[in-house]
């Protein structure tokens, strides 16, 4: 569990836009995996004087939050005190209501994927957040099978936020070179289109590992998970099957061939038709699809 360069950028951008980090809760005591070179880049990009700031790569991150984000209180929660967290709780079980609405910012830097009872765990995280406070979730998406119990999709957080009194500020995909996101150069980041706004599924088939960074702001205090979200294309009754040619061609505007060419494809043997549609799906579901993914600035 740790904060890497792009996580720090997401947090600092949020602060620049007005997010208060006065009282912060870390889900798992977060380490700081930012090289001195990248730390210098952060200080220059966000005009932060680091002359009196010292840190250890891989050390705990509390001083970073206080120095870079003006945090006054930085608590951390874990199921055990082996890393020195000051709140001990197993996220598989509901937290006490005494902790509800206690923090301006709650940050998960890689814990939720390891908690089996995910609905209870994410519900706990949302309940910690004050009205107008923020929840940041930095977890694994594509090509991290076996790292934890789960890999997460953008649709999950879009629907979780909207159905529980939060608004979605950012859903970002961080495409990095290695399984260890802290290794190598800073990953390229892409904002994700809300599948509900697009009117269909937003899928990604990626060659490289991908992390998801989600930021939601709590605008209304309502009972968390009093009902369960529905995937948007099922809610709209627009789901499609793998070989539903008409929907593949209708819903994906990048498939720019003329009507007569579509009819020609239908004359091909079934296995060849499937191959053509399969290749199109791979192209459509790549990070290069600008209807799905746009470069994060």
128 plus 264 within the same structural domain: no
187 plus 266 within the same structural domain: no
For residue 295 the two structure tokens come to 């470069």
What would the mean pLDDT of 134-146 be, rounded to a whole number? 96
Q: What is the pLDDT of residue 91?
A: 98
Of 232, 256, 273, the position where a domain reaches its end is 232
Element (H, E) at 64: helix 62-69
pLDDT band at residue 148 using 50, 70 and 90 as cut-offs: very high
What would the mean pLDDT of 165-169 be, rounded to a whole number? 98
Q: Between the CA of residue 188 and those of 174, 176, 177, 231, 233, what are the distances in Å?
A: 6, 7, 9, 27, 28
Note whether residue 168 is domain-resident.
yes
Q: What are phi and psi of 104, to 5 degrees?
A: -70, -35
- Residues forming beta bridges with residue 214, ordered by sequence position: 137, 171
What are the tens digits of pLDDT across the range 22-48? 999 999 999 999 999 999 999 999 999
Note whether residue 11 is domain-resident.
yes
Answer whether residue 244 shows pLDDT above 50. no
| Average model confidence (pLDDT) across the chain | 90
* CATH value at residue 50: 3.40.50.150
Note whether residue 296 is domain-resident.
no
pLDDT band at residue 238 using 50, 70 and 90 as cut-offs: very low
Q: pTM of the prediction? A: 0.88
> Lowest mean pLDDT: which of 166-175, 204-213, 280-289?
280-289
Residues in Cβ contact with 285 at an 8 Å cutoff, skipping those fewer than 6 apart = 203, 204, 205, 292
> Is 107 in a helix, a strand, or coil?
strand
| Half-sphere exposure for 86 (CA within 13 Å, toward CB) | 8
142 plus 96 within the same structural domain: yes
Note whether residue 29 is domain-resident.
yes
Q: What is the pLDDT of residue 242?
A: 38
Q: Between the CA of residue 203 and those of 198, 208, 281, 284, what are the distances in Å?
A: 12, 15, 10, 9
74 plus 210 within the same structural domain: yes
Tracing tokens 């836009």 back to the chain, one arrives at 17
154 plus 253 within the same structural domain: no
Sign of CA dihedral 13, 17, 19, 22: positive
- Yes or no: say if 250 and 256 are a contact pair by the CB < 8 Å rule: no
15 plus 135 within the same structural domain: yes
109 plus 80 within the same structural domain: yes
Note whether residue 46 is domain-resident.
yes
Q: What are phi and psi of 190, to 5 degrees?
A: -135, 135
What would the mean pLDDT of 260-279 be, rounded to a whole number? 78
- Residue span of the structural domain in which 18 resides: 2-232
245 plus 175 within the same structural domain: no
Note whether residue 191 is domain-resident.
yes
Q: What is the pLDDT of residue 222?
A: 97
Answer whether residue 203 shows pLDDT above 70. yes
Number of domain units in the chain: 2
Of 211, 232, 253, the position where a domain reaches its end is 232
Note whether residue 295 is domain-resident.
no
Note whether residue 139 is domain-resident.
yes
- Comparing CA positions, the residue from 212, 182, 209, 183 lying closest to residue 293 is 212
> Is 54 in a helix, a strand, or coil?
coil
- Residues forming beta bridges with residue 106, ordered by sequence position: 25, 135
Answer whether residue 266 shows pLDDT above 80. no
253 plus 216 within the same structural domain: no
133 plus 250 within the same structural domain: no
Q: What are phi and psi of 176, to 5 degrees?
A: -120, 170
98 plus 181 within the same structural domain: yes
143 plus 272 within the same structural domain: no
Of 185, 204, 232, the position where a domain reaches its end is 232
């Amino acid at each position: 569990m740790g904060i890497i360069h792009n996580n720090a950028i997401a947090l600092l951008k949020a602060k620049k836009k007005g997010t208060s980090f006065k009282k912060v809760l870390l889900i798992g005591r977060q380490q700081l995996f930012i090289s001195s070179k990248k730390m210098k880049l952060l200080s220059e990009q966000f005009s932060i004087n680091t002359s009196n700031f010292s840190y250890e790569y891989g050390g705990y991150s509390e001083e970073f939050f206080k120095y870079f984000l003006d945090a006054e209180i930085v608590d951390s929660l874990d199921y055990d005190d082996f890393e020195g967290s000051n709140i001990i709780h197993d996220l598989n079980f509901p937290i006490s209501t005494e902790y509800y609405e206690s923090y301006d910012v709650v940050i998960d830097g890689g814990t939720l994927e390891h908690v089996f009872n995910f609905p209870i765990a994410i519900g706990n995280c949302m309940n910690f957040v004050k009205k107008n406070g923020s929840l940041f979730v930095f977890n694994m998406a594509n090509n991290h099978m076996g790292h934890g119990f789960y890999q997460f999709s953008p649709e999950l957080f879009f629907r979780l936020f909207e159905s529980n009194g939060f608004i979605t500020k950012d859903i970002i995909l961080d495409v990095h070179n290695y399984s260890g996101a802290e290794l190598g150069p800073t990953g390229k980041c892409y904002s994700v289109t809300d599948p509900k706004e697009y009117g269909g599924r937003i899928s990604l088939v990626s060659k490289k590992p991908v992390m998801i960074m989600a930021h939601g702001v709590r605008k209304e205090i309502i009972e968390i998970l009093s009902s369960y979200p529905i995937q948007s294309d099922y809610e709209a009754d627009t789901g499609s099957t793998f070989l539903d040619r008409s929907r593949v061609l209708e819903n994906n505007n990048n498939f720019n061939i003329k009507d007569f060419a579509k009819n020609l494809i239908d004359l091909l043997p079934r296995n060849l038709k499937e191959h053509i549609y399969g290749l199109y799906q791979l192209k459509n579901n790549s990070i290069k699809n600008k209807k799905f993914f746009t470069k994060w600035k």
